[in-house]
């Protein structure tokens, strides 16, 4: 896909190094080692190298041992620690910073791994749910359960705090969206109208209205005070997979299983196309539909207020960026890391969580993210490495992520909530 201005989308092939998940534990020992690996584009296998760590007082030395493949150990031009004990590895001119978790917690009250997760605006509490439908509010300090939220039947698919941090929005297999008071744990509102499981939710502004999407192929806008449906969109593109809202709440986007992305301007003019009983179905005059190349898993907006760019993560492991106004592909990142489970855009970086346990942060220059016109001589193919990789998961899928300040939280199939401190500049 290309826009009318004939700007060439950029294809970025990811060749980020892989690292032993618990590499940071070796820093405690006088002598230890961990492995690094690299799989070049088109290669049949990953080539691995042992790295020896030698600790002398507060200084660390690293030596990359020769491997057995075609890549030489001298291709690792630098292996060193910064003041925060993040590991910088430069391989053939490209540097990735490996960041170890500063905390790993298992939340009391869950019977299995957390599947959805969010952190409050104060950073003092979490909301999370496991695959058995247990939904809890937990202390961020001790990971102990503070409230058990009872009301959903079966699995909870999404959970998020309202901007106030005092109310939580959830949805799940029981076809409902629920609004919870954190101080009491009571369900203040139950929003009913979908006829299949609800797979995505979003909050508009301060939270007087919310959005949802469902496997029934529709999205709805709800009034939280009355618990009534305000508007309905039927996409007719199969089950809706996920939903995202732009920073200024002027747009929302939905992805569907039939390889489809729809972006709707909430401030645009609309017309009623069907009315039955007390429910009206509207079509917005400003609705943009984009055909996707394969099955999508997740999405997010860029951090500009109007949401000019939508990022989509796919089952086949690649991520694509689309210009909303032009309905065109800007660029993509192609990986060999399994399906993309979650995306977050933060501080000019796209953070991508994969099914193989990888969490990678790619720098997205604002001029590139908001590309609407420009030089048609953009390189067609780039070989890239992630700027940051958040380590700790041992090949277990990352199910969800949340951001508070400059802390990134991940939840994983191994049951741990991991917190990382990222002090990058905007």
Domain boundaries, the chain: 11-99, 149-388
How far is CA 251 from each of CA 232, 287, 324, 403, 415, rounded to the nearest angstrom? 15, 10, 10, 21, 34
List 228's β-bridge partners, or say none. 223
Distance (Å, rounded) from C-alpha 365 to C-alpha 368?
Answer: 5
* pLDDT score at 283: 56
- CA gap 258, 180 in Å, rounded: 33
Profile the chain (426 residues) by mean pLDDT over runs of 10 residues. Answer: 60 96 95 95 91 91 92 95 94 96 92 95 95 91 93 94 97 97 95 98 97 98 96 94 96 97 85 58 73 97 89 97 94 94 95 97 73 49 95 96 95 96 76
Q: Can you tell me whether residue 280 is helix, strand or coil?
A: strand
270 neighbors 290 (Cβ within 8 angstroms): no
User: What phi, psi does 25 have (nearest 5°)?
Assistant: -70, -25
The three-class DSSP label of residue 355 is: coil
* CB 122 within 8 Å of CB 405: no
User: What is the CATH number assigned to the segment(s) 149-388?
Assistant: 2.130.10.10
Name the pTM for this structure: 0.91
SS3 23: helix
Residue 275: per-residue pLDDT: 60
Smallest CA-to-CA distance from 227 within 177, 157, 261 is with 177
């Amino acid at each position: 896909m290309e826009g009318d201005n004939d700007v060439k989308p950029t294809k970025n092939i990811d060749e980020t190094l892989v690292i032993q998940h618990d590499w940071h534990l070796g820093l405690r020992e006088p002598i230890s080692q961990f492995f690094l690996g690299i799989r070049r584009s088109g290669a049949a296998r990953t080539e691995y190298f042992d790295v020896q760590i030698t600790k002398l007082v507060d200084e660390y030395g690293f030596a990359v041992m020769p491997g057995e493949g075609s890549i030489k150990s001298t291709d690792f031009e630098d292996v060193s620690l910064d003041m925060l004990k993040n590991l910088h590895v430069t391989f053939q001119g490209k540097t990735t910073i490996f960041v170890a978790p500063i905390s790993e917690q298992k939340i009391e009250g869950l019977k299995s791994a957390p599947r959805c997760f969010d952190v409050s605006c104060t950073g003092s509490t979490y909301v999370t749910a496991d695959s058995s439908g247990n939904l809890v509010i937990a202390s961020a300090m001790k990971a102990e359960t503070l409230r058990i939220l009872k009301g959903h039947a079966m699995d909870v698919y999404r959970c998020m705090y309202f901007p106030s941090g005092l109310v939580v929005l959830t949805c799940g297999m029981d076809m409902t969206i629920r609004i919870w008071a954190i101080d009491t744990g009571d369900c203040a509102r139950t929003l009913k109208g979908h006829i299949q499981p609800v797979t995505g939710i979003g909050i508009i502004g301060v939270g007087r209205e919310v959005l949802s999407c469902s496997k029934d192929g529709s999205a709805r806008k709800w009034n939280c005070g009355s618990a009534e449906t305000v508007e309905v969109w039927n996409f007719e593109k199969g089950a809706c997979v996920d939903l995202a809202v732009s920073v200024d709440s002027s747009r929302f986007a939905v992805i569907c299983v039939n390889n489809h992305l729809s972006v709707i301007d909430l401030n645009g003019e609309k017309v009623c196309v069907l009315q039955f009983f007390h429910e009206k179905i509207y079509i917005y005059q400003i609705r943009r539909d984009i055909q996707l190349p394969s099955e999508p898993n997740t999405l997010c907006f860029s951090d500009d207020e109007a949401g000019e760019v939508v990022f989509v993560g796919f089952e086949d492991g690649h991520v694509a960026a689309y210009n909303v106004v032009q309905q065109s592909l800007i660029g993509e990142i192609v990986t060999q890391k399994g399906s993309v489970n979650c995306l977050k855009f933060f501080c000019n970086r796209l953070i991508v969580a994969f099914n193989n346990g990888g969490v990678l942060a790619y720098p997205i220059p604002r001029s590139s993210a908001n590309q609407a016109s420009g030089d048609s001589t953009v390189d067609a193919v780039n070989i890239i490495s992630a700027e940051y990789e958040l380590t700790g998961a041992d090949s277990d899928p990352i199910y969800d992520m949340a951001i508070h300040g400059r802390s990134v939280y991940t939840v994983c199939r191994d049951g741990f909530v991991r917190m990382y401190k990222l002090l990058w500049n905007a």
